[in-house]
Amino acid sequence: MPEDNVQSLTVVTCTAPVNIAVIKYWGKRDEDLILPINSSLSVTLHQDQLKTTTTAACSRYFKEDRIWLNGKEDNINQPRLQSCLREIRRLARKRRSDGDPNADALGYSYKIHICSENNFPTAAGLASSAAGYACLVYTLSRLLGVDGELSEVARQGSGSACRSMYGGFVQWRMGEQEDGKDSVAEQVEAETHWPELRVLILVVSAERKPVGSTAGMQTSVETSALLKHRADSVVPGRMEEMISAIRQRDFAAFGELTMKDSNQFHATCMDTYPPIFYLNDVSRRVINLVHRYNHHYRETRVAYTFDAGPNAVIYTLQQHVAEFIQVVKHFFPPETNGEQFLRGLPVSPVSLSEELTRAIGMDPLPKGISYIISTKAGPGPRVVEDPSLHLLGPDGLPKKSA
Ligand code: 2P0
């Protein structure tokens, strides 16, 4: 290694959030550019609880592009990874040729090392590709001095990743153009807009999902007439209603639309041929529990949504969090000697009235839920300033391996 190797290394570390859709994306009209058949809308979750951290470094001494994910070297030649790298390098070159003095002088021509890790289990089925590609694109953009509209690049890594480029409440407009230039994410409201809104992730199972989203939605587009109806006739109206519920902080409207949209997404999975099942028995029990809880209070106090897996994500308001967690504990008694059941934002325990548990009236299912992550809406991707937090060492290799 040459003497000046250390000095020639440029390193940047960033973090990016997970997002959970309340109007779901399911189906592409262009597989390569990742253009969706409908617009979607999500809440960006707080990075204190769930985040991806990525370090990217470039040096004229690197011989090839390389990537390490959660401690293990991975294949850099995956088409979506290559799309993101190619796009950011193209934007960096363009900025340089446009004469921008802030553009990195030569970085775009150097090889890049990337190291990325999640602070949550990938196998828990939490949108890791969204946070992962958002973090990759954001970090590469900082490394090579590119800014501007980056959700269009993140989208080419994974559709849902474009929504993780912003904090708070984010819509992904499907766009109309064939080149995808208008298929971008846009912040509807910042994370500070609705401070009482809370998110509980009920981790049902740590198994990997049976059918991946990419393959699943492709089969749905090919075979489900319901999906076409949803995209053409249902989602456009729901996007408008959802944006207005968020702007007015109308939880009843927000919660009802969220549940209906999750149910319709899973109905399109059932309508796919052969059918796709993401919900399991525990998921269906959570759905029942939420409806019985809301019915008892004659008010929509909690809402569920499910992605391409059995975990439930619950949206509610701060004043109902403690009681609802107690309800979950009552009907899904956790393992007593196991790991911490409630993680994330602290919640003080409350006692349940017998009237409430009787009204819900379900048989408890021990260990149905392994743990709960308690969180809220949060900001978009961030640069990590502390150099001790870089995942790559001065030699450009991962500091620690799993
Ligand atoms: C969503 N999901 O809106 C929906 C709801 C899962 C269910 O976005 O092929 O991993 O990489 O574009 O983004 C999962 O799809 O799929 C997803 P690709 P992605 O959050």
3-state secondary structure the chain: CCHHHCCCCEEEEEEEECEEEEECCCCEEECCCCEECCCEEEEEECCCCCEEEEEEEEECCCCCCEEEECCEEECCCCHHHHHHHHHHHHHHHHHHHCCCCCCCCCHHHCEEEEEEEECCCHHHCCCHHHHHHHHHHHHHHHHCCCCCCCHHHHHCCCHHHHHHHCCCEEEECCCCCCCCCCCCEEEEECCCCCCCEEEEEEECCCCCCCCCHHHHHHHHHHHCHHHHHHHHHHHHHHHHHHHHHHHCCCHHHHHHHHHHHHHHHHHHHHHCCCCCCCCCHHHHHHHHHHHHHHHHHCCCCEEEECCCCCCEEEEEEHHHHHHHHHHHHHHCCCCCCCCCCEEECCCCCCCCCHHHHHHHCCCCCCCCCCEEEEEEECCCCEECCCHHHCCECCCCCECCCC
Confidence category of residue 394, pLDDT binned at 50, 70, 90: very high
C-beta of 278 in contact with ligand 1 (< 6 A): no
Confidence category of residue 319, pLDDT binned at 50, 70, 90: very high
Q: With 90 as the cut, is the pLDDT of residue 123 above it?
A: no
The domain segmentation of the chain, as residue ranges, is 3-191+382-389, 197-375
Which of helix, strand or coil describes residue 106? coil
Q: With 80 as the cut, is the pLDDT of residue 125 above it?
A: no
pLDDT of residue 191: 98
Confidence category of residue 1, pLDDT binned at 50, 70, 90: very low
Query: 255 alpha carbon to ligand 1 midpoint, in Å?
Result: 20
**Which percentage of the chain shows pLDDT scores above 90?**
85
C-beta of 332 in contact with ligand 1 (< 6 A): no
Is there a shared CATH topology between the 3-191+382-389 domain and the 197-375 domain? no
Domain spanning 3-191+382-389: which CATH class is it, in words? alpha beta
Nearest CA, atom 4, ligand 1:
25
Instruction: For a ligand 1 pocket test, name from 158, 221, 272 the mutation site with the most ligand atoms within 8 angstroms of its C-beta.
Output: 158
Confidence category of residue 229, pLDDT binned at 50, 70, 90: very high
Cβ burial of 243 (10 Å; 0-12, 13-18, 19+) is middle
Q: With 50 as the cut, is the pLDDT of residue 52 above it?
A: yes
Minimum-distance ligand 1 atom for the alpha carbon of 36:
12
C-beta of 261 in contact with ligand 1 (< 6 A): no
Q: What is the per-residue pLDDT across 279-290, written as a single tens digit (0 to 9) for each? A: 999 999 999 999
Confidence category of residue 3, pLDDT binned at 50, 70, 90: very low
Q: With 80 as the cut, is the pLDDT of residue 128 above it?
A: no
Q: With 90 as the cut, is the pLDDT of residue 178 above it?
A: yes
Nearest CA, atom 14, ligand 1:
213
**Which percentage of the chain shows pLDDT scores above 70?**
93
- The structure's pTM equals 0.95
Average pLDDT over residues 45-58: 97
pLDDT of residue 98: 84
Q: With 60 as the cut, is the pLDDT of residue 355 above it?
A: yes
CATH superfamily of 197-375: GHMP kinase, C-terminal domain (3.30.70.890)
8 with 131: CB under 8 angstroms?
no
Nearest CA, atom 7, ligand 1:
307
Q: With 60 as the cut, is the pLDDT of residue 203 above it?
A: yes
Q: With 50 as the cut, is the pLDDT of residue 154 above it?
A: yes
Query: 7 alpha carbon to ligand 1 midpoint, in Å?
Result: 40
Look at 60-74, 201-215, 318-332, 363-377 and tell me which has the smallest mean pLDDT: 201-215
Nearest CA, atom 9, ligand 1:
214
Average pLDDT, the chain: 93
C-beta of 36 in contact with ligand 1 (< 6 A): no
Average pLDDT over residues 263-280: 97
